C-alpha cells in the first residue's frame, strides 16, 4: 500500500539518478540534468516529485520528473517530459500511483489545462487509476538489435540499404562524430525545421544538453565539400543509443546523406559496446516510420497518457490542429526570420 509513502517536490540529485539507472523503465529523459536544461535554456519551471518510504529522508521508491509550461497562447501544462520522447513515473506500483495522484493534485492547484505523461512502458498503477487517464497521440519508436561488430550488421542489411549508404561516400561525403559537431548539427537542424514548417528548438537548449550530459550525448554530422548537409543529436543510456533529433538538407536528398549519418551512428554505438539502436519516436505509417523500418528494426509502441480525459484535453488538441494549419505559412518564411522567431515559439509548444 502507499499509505506510508512520503510524496514531495525535491530538486533531483545523485540519489535520484542512481534510482533512475537502477529502475526498470528508467531513461535518459528521467535524469536530473534536465532540471537545469529546462529551467536555464527553456525558461520553464522543473517539478521533481519523489516518493520515499519511511518519511522525507527515507529510501526513494519512485520519481516523476515534470515541467510546468505556461503560455498565453497555448495554455498551462504539466509535462513529463516536453521536447523528449519519454517520461512518466518510475517505481513500484504503489509509488507510481501515489506520484500520479500528487501530480494530478498539482495540476489542479495550478489550473493546468493538462498533465501529459510520455511513458515508454505501460504505467504500473493500482487498479482503477488508468480510467482517469486518456491515451495521448499514437506514437511508436523503432528499435534495432545491434551485433557485436559492424561488419555483421552491414551484412544483415538489404542490398538497397547498403547501396544507399555507399552513395554519399561515392559523392565525396564523409561523417564526423563528437561534441565539436554541435554547430554543424544545429545549422542543418534549423534549416530542416523551417522546411518542415516547424519552429526550431533554441540553440542554447542543445548547448545546455551538451554541458549537462557530456559523453552521454552524441552529436554527428555529414559533410559535402566542407558544408554540413546532415546532422543528429542522440543519447546513450544503459545498453541503448537513441537518435533523438536528426535532419538533412533537402537539396542533397539525391545523395542520401541521412543514410551515411545513421550508419555512422550505428558504428559509433557498436564501438561503445551498446546493444540497441533506437531510431526515436514517429507516427505509425508515415514516411519517417518507413525510413526507420527499412534498416531491419521493429516497432515498440509508446504509452503516452494525458489527464484529464475530457474536454480540456480535447481543447489542447484543437490548438495543435491550429498550429498544423500554420505549417504552410512557416515554410514560406525566409530562413533567417524563421530561425529568429522559431526558438521563441517552440519553447512554449506543449506538443513538441
Provide the CATH number for the domain around residue 239. 3.40.630.30
d(CA 82, CA 80): 6
Pair (148, 106) in one structural domain: no
Confidence band for 322, pLDDT divided at 50, 70 and 90: low
In a domain, 246, yes or no: yes
Pair (33, 178) in one structural domain: no
Mean pLDDT of 275-284: 95
Pair (256, 123) in one structural domain: no
Pair (278, 319) in one structural domain: no
Pair (145, 255) in one structural domain: yes
In a domain, 343, yes or no: no
Closest CA to 268 of 230, 233, 224: 233
Pair (149, 267) in one structural domain: yes
Confidence band for 1, pLDDT divided at 50, 70 and 90: very low
In a domain, 342, yes or no: no
In a domain, 116, yes or no: yes
In a domain, 345, yes or no: no
Which triple of cell numbers denotes residue 293?
Answer: 523500418
Q: Which residue has the higher pLDDT, 305 or 4?
A: 305
In a domain, 117, yes or no: yes
Which triple of cell numbers denotes residue 28?
Answer: 535518459
The number of folded domains in the chain is 2
Structural domain of residue 253, as residue ranges? 141-301
Closest CA to 222 of 186, 183, 261, 280: 261
The pTM for the full model equals: 0.91
Beta strands in the chain (DSSP E): 5-9, 45-53, 59-71, 75-80, 90-91, 114-119, 134-135, 140-145, 174-177, 217-224, 227-237, 240-248, 276-282, 298-301, 303-307
Pair (174, 270) in one structural domain: yes
Q: What is residue 104's DSSP assignment?
A: H
In a domain, 270, yes or no: yes
Q: Which pLDDT score is estimated for 338?
A: 67
Pair (193, 284) in one structural domain: yes
Confidence band for 317, pLDDT divided at 50, 70 and 90: very low
Pair (204, 235) in one structural domain: yes
If you average pLDDT over every residue of the chain, what do you get? 90
Residue pLDDT, tens place only, 60-103:
999 999 999 998 778 999 999 999 999 999 999 999 999 999 99
* Domain edge (last residue) among 301, 317, 347: 301
Residue pLDDT, tens place only, 223-242:
999 999 999 999 999 999 99
Amino acid at each position: 500500500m502507499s499509505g506510508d509513502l512520503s510524496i514531495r517536490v525535491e530538486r533531483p540529485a545523485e540519489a535520484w539518478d542512481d534510482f533512475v539507472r537502477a529502475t526498470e523503465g528508467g531513461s535518459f529523459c528521467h535524469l536530473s540534468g534536465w532540471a537545469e536544461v529546462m529551467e536555464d535554456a527553456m525558461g520553464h519551471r522543473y517539478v521533481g516529485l519523489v516518493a520515499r518510504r519511511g518519511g522525507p529522508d527515507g529510501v526513494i521508491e519512485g520519481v516523476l520528473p515534470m515541467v510546468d509550461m505556461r503560455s498565453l497562447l497555448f495554455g498551462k501544462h504539466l509535462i513529463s517530459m516536453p521536447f523528449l520522447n519519454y517520461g512518466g513515473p518510475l517505481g513500484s506500483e504503489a509509488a507510481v500511483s501515489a506520484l500520479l495522484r500528487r501530480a494530478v493534485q498539482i495540476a489542479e492547484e495550478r489550473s493546468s489545462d493538462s498533465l501529459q505523461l510520455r511513458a515508454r512502458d505501460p504505467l504500473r498503477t493500482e487498479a482503477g487509476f488508468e480510467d482517469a487517464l486518456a491515451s495521448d497521440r499514437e506514437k511508436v519508436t523503432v528499435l534495432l538489435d545491434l551485433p557485436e561488430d559492424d561488419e555483421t550488421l552491414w551484412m544483415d542489411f538489404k542490398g538497397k540499404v547498403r547501396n544507399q549508404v555507399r552513395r554519399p561516400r561515392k559523392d565525396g561525403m564523409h561523417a564526423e562524430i563528437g561534441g565539436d559537431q554541435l554547430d554543424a548539427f544545429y545549422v542543418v537542424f534549423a534549416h530542416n525545421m523551417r522546411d518542415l514548417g516547424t519552429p526550431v528548438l533554441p540553440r542554447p537548449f542543445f548547448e545546455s544538453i551538451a554541458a549537462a550530459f557530456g559523453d552521454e550525448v552524441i552529436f554527428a554530422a555529414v559533410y559535402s565539400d566542407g558544408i554540413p548537409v546532415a546532422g543528429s543529436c542522440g543519447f546513450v543510456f544503459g545498453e541503448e543509443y537513441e537518435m533523438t533529433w536528426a535532419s538533412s538538407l533537402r537539396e542533397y536528398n539525391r545523395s542520401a546523406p541521412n543514410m551515411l549519418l545513421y550508419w555512422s551512428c550505428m558504428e559509433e554505438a557498436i564501438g561503445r559496446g551498446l546493444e540497441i539502436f533506437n531510431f526515436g519516436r514517429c507516427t505509425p505509417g508515415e514516411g519517417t516510420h518507413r525510413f526507420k523500418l527499412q534498416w531491419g528494426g521493429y516497432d515498440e509502441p509508446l504509452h503516452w497518457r494525458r489527464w484529464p480525459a475530457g474536454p480540456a484535453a480535447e481543447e489542447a488538441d484543437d490548438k495543435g490542429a491550429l498550429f498544423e494549419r500554420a505549417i504552410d505559412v512557416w515554410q514560406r518564411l525566409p530562413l533567417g526570420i524563421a530561425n529568429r522567431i522559431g526558438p521563441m515559439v517552440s519553447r512554449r509548444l506543449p506538443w513538441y
